[in-house]
Structure 1
Amino acid sequence: MTPGFQALTEKEKETLRLLVDGHDAKSMARHLGLSVHTVNERLRDARRKMAVSSSREAARKLRAIEQRDAEYRGDRLSGDAFAVADRDESAAPVDASRMVRRIGWVFGGIVMSLSLALFALASWSGPTDAPAAPQSAAQPAASPETAVVETARAWLALVDGEDWNGSWNATGQAFKALNTSDRWAEVSRSVRPPLGAVLSREAASEEAVPAPPYGYRMVKFRTRFANKAGAVETLSLVREGGAWRVVGYTID
């Protein structure tokens, strides 16, 4: 465990998470409803506690620690996590902030470059429907494709067609809570078109991932773009309102 990690307050962790997701001090201040001075104070205190020289280094270390913690919890929960799928869906809504702490910030808000496009699950705003019976491990996508894979493929078609508004509308609550349609369009334009046309896209796997409250599905495609061969597209989907919704997307 990195020295000082346990000394970080939740507010300091929140600020570091926004930093590693691509925010600067001004956008963090707007997001948190704080002054830039307060944001910088949080970052300074976090650097001191983590014993690092830069805020970005502190943010990266926090992300790495929380990812390891989430993976460990996932291993521990793999036998029981999906028992919640059988719960009464009329139960009280899940506390989203508590759920995010348990997941450990496996994902972020917006982190995009020409090699990486990440819009991923970071919070859950309200209850979701329990998904169908989960798979215990990654498996090759079945033929014919499952509803999850079909939904993921249809969403990618919107992105391929540069239908930014349509693709944003097809995302889940968690995605929309973190990314406005304008922001999604702005960043997508800088990332997707340079990859060129899709020459081939093959469903590689569909995996059920244990995470509160009901888990989510991760679908991977092996994709060949005109300007990038051997890419792997990963989408995270949750069940909302009787339909699958995309809440995470990466291109590696």
Structure 2
Amino acid sequence: MTKEWSQRGYESSVLASRYIDFRPKPPARLADRIVEFLKEKYTGDLSVCVDAGCGSGQCSLLLSSHFQKVLATDISASQIEVAKSQNHPPNIEFVASPAEQCPVEDGSVQLVNACVAAHWFDLPAFFKESDRILCPNGIVAIAAYVPLLEFVHPTASEELGEAMKLFYRVRLRDYWAKGVSIVDNEYKSITIPYEDFVREVFYVDECRKLSDLMNFFSSWCIYNNYCEVNGEAAGKGILQEFANNCLKALGSTQEPHEVDINFKFKYVLLMAHKP
């Protein structure tokens, strides 16, 4: 297949609702580490944070406990509409705006954050805009979890991993947009253009029902690209194939909503201070 898939597949109203329902919430330690790094050089008030590519606002919520104001932006009006429909603190403002054009004044922001979003950006333009709006010693922080999960089981970890690889790397491989390859490569191709650039990795343990994992995968733009070409029934078919392979690996005859799956999310965090 030679089709070049859109970098903006996440904008649909269907995916926006699936984001809020099925995407994992970022861990509190992510926001804590970002603020800790910021304070290594910045000593003033934490007045404004921009959460670029905020999606349904999950990371915006975490950051709102650290900053007086969070300006949460996303190019998708559907994502912003869903974010606004949720209960959120009054210090979060959701605005439909591209990450490369932020409606704030020069030098007025302490943090420009992007969580599971930067692989969709025009990165040179995003870094230029971040440099414009950041105050001295403010930071850019870019984070994502790696799509390929690491399963934890006394005897079936390898087989569960193979089921995941078949679904993600084989069944869906022809439906990857360019940004998916960037996050699949763990953001190794991204460098924030400041001297003290750091790249950190940490893991978050999760336990979900197998059916929850299937719902999570249904929120991926690459899964929806697959359904666009092959139909919803075919999409449900490859999700069920994944579930059946997991059940076989576990030796289980239960239904997906009855089966617990233990795994790790691998998070990658990139940060750097503006001089």
TM-score (norm 1): 0.27
The one of the two structures with greater contact order (alpha-carbon pairs below 8 A, sep at least 6) is 2
TM-score (norm 2): 0.25
